[in-house]
Structure 1
Amino acid sequence: MTTLPAKRSVLRDTRFLRLWLAATASTVATWALPFILGLAVLERTLTASGLGVVLAARIAGFLVAVPIGGVLADRYSRRAIVFWAGVLSLVSTPLVAFGGLPVMVIASVLLGAGQGACRPAFQALTAEVVDGSQRQQANAAMTFAVRVSTLVAPGVTALLANVVSTSAILLGTCALWLIVALVPPRGASQTPRERGKLHQEFLDGLREARRHPWFLAGLGALALTAAVGQTAIAVALPLVSRDRYGTEFVLAAGTTAYSVGALAGALIIARWRPRNQGWAAFGGLALFGFAPLSMLFPVHPVVIVAAFVAVGIGIELFNVPWFTAMQREVEPDKLARVSSLDFLISYGLAPVGLALIVPAIDGYGLSAVLAVCAAMCFLAPAAAALVPSSRHLSVKTPRSA
């Protein structure tokens, strides 16, 4: 396998920088779509119900493509899968930008499929391009770029909306998908293997995941935290900002604080190598409980902002070691399939939380729902940390990241 020289900084290697640029472009383009289409609603070129249908179609395409993309990325060249995923997203974006609603829905399914297929391929390609001793730094560099983009991009997009149409901005994301398709480096040549049916190969990936109890425990904690913690941010924070404080400032400050904290967390974990990396990672994930907890009581807005900074730090203290552990521990020829399981469960359950929280608030009240969300965010990572192999995110004890 071709890897980076062990003692050379990953940030100075051209092959990694190409991978970093492509992965960042993919994530930014994926994140940008809901925001850009939201501007279309404000311009009255798309109805709110139409927005919901288009975004639901995108999510459906994403969730269907993630496991298929994982199987294909383990079967064929990871670089090739990234290329075709980028091409699919590239050609479907103009149809989303300029088509009528039925065409937009079909195109959104295809766009979501492209977005989903490249995720596990990028995870596996990172393991091929980057030496094991440098993967934590590499994963931190990728997530840092994503957080910078999500912090800066809304303002840039709003400024562009004053100059060009929303459709033109959406069409501009084609440049990002062109980067995804053309820029990534080639990885290692994969050893030819016997190929079965798609569902059988996915089940092989599931069996590989079951060999790693820390992964199953962590995936459960991550999925639960995403379902209730992210939901608390998405739904409860706007309500608290409006009803308790009477201003949008708390909403804006909280979401910005989350991104700033994530930037800080990426910088910390790029260099920090905790002795018990799994416990440290699950401790970071448990910090998500401070988001709903801070909104439970009538505290000063500064407390909410500080809590969201801590949440942002914590999620990256979890994410980076989590991705690095998968790249280190999982069998290389099954890595994309296991990564697809990670994305499928963690992303797939988030909409369930969004669907349930509003009826729960109507039935039991905001305070009760926030209390339950906080408890679940604290307890789920703590339970995952009790699994013996979770201490080092490895069935072997201990190994360096």
Structure 2
Amino acid sequence: MLRDVPFLRLWSGTTASGLATWALPFILGLAVLDRSLTAAGLGIVLAARTAGFVGAVPLGGVLADRYSRRAVVLWAGLAAAVATPLIAVGLGGSMPLMALASAVVGAGQGACRPAFQALTAEVVDEPRRQQANAAMTLAVRVTTLLGPGLAALLATVIDVAGLVLATALLWLVAALVPPRGGTVGGGTRDRARFVAEFADGVREARRHPWFLAGLGALTAVIATGYSATAVVLPLVSRDRYGTEAVLAGALTAYTAGALAGALLVARWRPTARGWAALAGLGCYGVAPLSLLLPVHPAVVFAAYLVAGVGIELFNVPWFTAIQREVEPAKLARVSSLDFLLSYGLAPVGLALIAPAVDAFGVTAVLGGCAVVCFLAPAAAALVPGSRRFH
């Protein structure tokens, strides 16, 4: 796939946007360490970015189906690239400026996600899309694995403001490098109201029961399993094992597992691809399960490795199925619905998990998260069409 120049350009753009998206919270975390930003300020900036993302995802889906997907990627990337330096300007000085700029960056991120998904269907022919999606997620996982060390190394020679500006360059790559798409999808320039167009995308999603079931399962797993990883894992690492090494090891094992999963699914074509993907999604349940008892840290690492493999066994066939099954002219809107519910609502789970731990205890919360992670994909597998995502 990387010898295909149009795909290489698309891959470079999506990788740059993913790296810029991941890097900003880490870099701002370094700003907290050097006291140029408070922890409360970091929370405000990241909340503003999330708000911008959630608000722009449905808008980006409608615009990418109404106009050129390539144009939406261009303007979304440019908006993020222009707003990012304002975060650096406001660092240590103006919190309102940082929050506003972060919201614009989040909006650029949110608008380009469904556009990139639809553009992939235009640039890559259907038989190669699973391999293409695997290559994209592989790049994201590699940057996630190597990024923290690289950013920390650069921080020894470049200040935080300089690192923030570097993410603006990544957004420029995301905006300018991707190729033009084909003629499928969008392009009608229909002037109908935004709500009506988005509702049309929802109706298209409802035509595919496997999509609604899979999206419900994915949202449930992210809201519970992901939240347990983000909130409870650091507590268990500190209180049970007395070291941050368990937290670092588990997250590294998860990323390594995701890399392995992406490599596997690039070639693997099971007959019951939908059931195989949902089984992979259900594997996330072993992550909170491993935190229930005082097991050896190696067990926790192994559980997170399995969860990482499983999440990519789901992600790649899931994106490929959406690109294959959804009507091309409505693909970006359906993709925006996917991102809006699964990842856009993830902060709700994060916000609720800590009060739940206080109210019911760590054991009950982890057990509940594990049960949801196992049962939600199993229930989705019972829906017509889920066997092959067709």
TM-score, normalising length: structure 2: 0.98
Asked if 1:135 is matched to 2:121, the reply is no
CA distance in 2, matches of 1:95, 1:191: 33
Shift of 1:164: 1.3
Task: Please show how residues 154-193 of structure 1 align to structure 2 within 5 Å.
Answer: 154-189=148-183, 190-192=186-188
Secondary structure in 2 aligned to 1:19?
helix
Letter in 2 for 1:391: R
Asked if 1:103 is matched to 2:94, the reply is no
Asked if 1:43 is matched to 2:34, the reply is yes
Secondary structure in 2 aligned to 1:391?
coil
Count of paired positions:
385
Judged with a 3 Å threshold, the aligned counterparts in structure 2 of structure 1 residues 355 and 191 are, in CA distance, closer, same or farther, namely: closer
Secondary structure in 2 aligned to 1:299?
coil
CA distance in 2, matches of 1:344, 1:305: 30
CA distance in 2, matches of 1:111, 1:388: 39
Asked if 1:252 is matched to 2:248, the reply is yes
Letter in 1 for 2:242: G
Asked if 1:356 is matched to 2:352, the reply is yes
Q: Could you list the runs of 5+ residues in structure 2 that have no partner in the other structure?
A: none
Letter in 1 for 2:234: P
Q: Indicate the residue corresponding to 1:295 in structure 2.
A: 291
Q: Is contact 2:53–2:344 with CA below 8 Å preserved after alignment?
A: no
CA distance in 2, matches of 1:293, 1:35: 28
Shift of 1:11: 2.6
Asked if 1:324 is matched to 2:320, the reply is yes
Q: Indicate the residue corresponding to 2:224 in structure 1.
A: 228
What per-residue deviation string (whole Å, max 9, x for no partner) do you get for residues 103-151 of structure 1? 1111111110001100000000000000100000000000000000000
Letter in 2 for 1:393: F
CA distance in 1, matches of 2:211, 2:243: 41
Q: Indicate the residue corresponding to 1:113 in structure 2.
A: 107
Shift of 1:98: 1.3
Secondary structure in 2 aligned to 1:388?
coil
Q: Indicate the residue corresponding to 1:122 in structure 2.
A: 116
Q: Indicate the residue corresponding to 1:65 in structure 2.
A: 56
Shift of 1:191: 4.8
Q: Is contact 2:204–2:334 with CA below 8 Å preserved after alignment?
A: yes
CA distance in 2, matches of 1:286, 1:181: 35
Secondary structure in 2 aligned to 1:348?
coil
Percent sequence identity over aligned pairs: 69
Secondary structure in 2 aligned to 1:196?
coil
Shift of 1:290: 0.3
CA distance in 1, matches of 2:239, 2:96: 38
TM-score, normalising length: structure 1: 0.95
Shift of 1:192: 2.9
Shift of 1:195: 3.3
CA distance in 2, matches of 1:199, 1:11: 38
CA distance in 1, matches of 2:175, 2:383: 40
Secondary structure in 2 aligned to 1:173?
helix
Aligned-residue CA RMSD (Å): 0.8
